[in-house]
Amino acid sequence: MARLNLKYEGTIIKSEDSSIVPEDEWVLFRASDKFLLKVLDFYEGQCQSSGCSKEHLDDIQGLRDRVDEWQRRFPTRVKIPD
């Protein structure tokens, strides 16, 4: 099983074909990360200005919406990463 970082391990599987994504091709952020919404906003802006597909932009917005909802539901669990 791949190490996600020093704290986590797991396997990332692509929905479209069930292939395993190599560990050097992905990163992990948690919804509890205080800065994640800002990171997603920046990333979305970069993708928009670079001409990424609507599908990709919609995926980013969906992820952003889920993180925003989680952080609103659990404000005491939102923290500066350690």
More confident residue, 22 or 75: 75
Q: Are residue 24 and residue 57 in the same domain, yes or no?
A: no
Tell me which residue of 63, 67, 29 sits closest to 47, measured CA to CA.
63
Distance CA 63, CA 61 (A): 5
Specify the pLDDT at position 5: 63
Residues 23 and 10 grouped into a single domain: yes
What pLDDT, in 10s, does the model give residues 24-70? 888 889 999 999 999 999 999 999 999 999 999 999 999 999 999 99
Statement to judge: residues 37 and 64 lie in one domain? yes
Which residues span the domain enclosing 52?
31-82
What pLDDT score was predicted for residue 79?
97
Domain co-membership, 17 together with 42? no
Contact 1, 10 (CB under 8 A): yes
pLDDT (0 to 100) of residue 4:
57
Are 20 and 37 in a shared domain? no
Which segments of 1-82 are extended strands (E)?
2-3, 9-10
Say if residue 36 is exposed, middle or buried (CB neighbours under 10 Å; 0-12, 13-18, 19+).
Answer: buried
Q: What is the mean pLDDT of residues 10-17?
A: 90
Q: Are residues 12 and 49 in the same domain?
A: no
Domain total for the chain? 2
